[in-house]
Amino acid sequence: MQDCVHLEYRVDGQNFVSAGSATESVKTFLKGMGVNPQDVRRVAIAMYEGEINMVIHANGGYAYADIYVDKCIITLVDTGKGIKDIDLALQPGYSTASDEVRALGFGAGMGLPNMKKYADECIIESEVGKGTKVTLVTRFD
């Protein structure tokens, strides 16, 4: 058995039709590996929020999944505008999403809180004007 499987996806900015497809692919892969449904769901929720954030707030980016027997590490990297105050961005309800995006059902300001809640580790690194990197570690039961 392989020790680690590495998957890579390009995430298009502002494309709401393809948004979520990277996460769907990772979910299908984990399911196929036989990872228990609860853990698959946790990975999917956290990764989807990160993927959507790159679509909405960062004009796209890249999603990477490193899958091991006992854990999965999702890395979301973008070269978007960055997050000025991460503590503020983590507050439930805080959102800078536009009205247009809100009309689609996004912008509840629960994305980062969901990531914190569902991933075992959620590391956010960001620099204004440079971009954002989010690392999500989920350990399998």
Ligand X SMILES: Nc1ncnc2c1ncn2[C@@H]1O[C@H](COP(=O)(O)OP(=O)(O)O)[C@@H](O)[C@H]1O
- Find the radius of gyration of the CA atoms of the chain: 14
Q: Are 78 and 12 in contact (CB under 8 A)?
A: no
The smaller minimum CB distance to Mg ion, of residues 106 and 140, is found at 106
Site string for ligand X, 16-55 (x = CB under 6 A): ---------------------------------x---xx-
138 forms bridges with which residues in the sheet? 72
43 C-beta neighbours (distance < 10 Å), count:
27
Among another protein, Mg ion, ligand X, none, the one that 117 touches (CB under a kind-dependent 5 to 8 A) is another protein
- Which residue in the set 35, 55, 97, 119 belongs to the binding site for ligand X (CB under 6 A)? 97
Strand segments (E) across 51-97 = 60-67, 71-78
Q: Give the binding site for ligand X (CB under 6 A).
A: 49, 53-54, 56-58, 78, 80-83, 89, 94-97, 106-112, 132
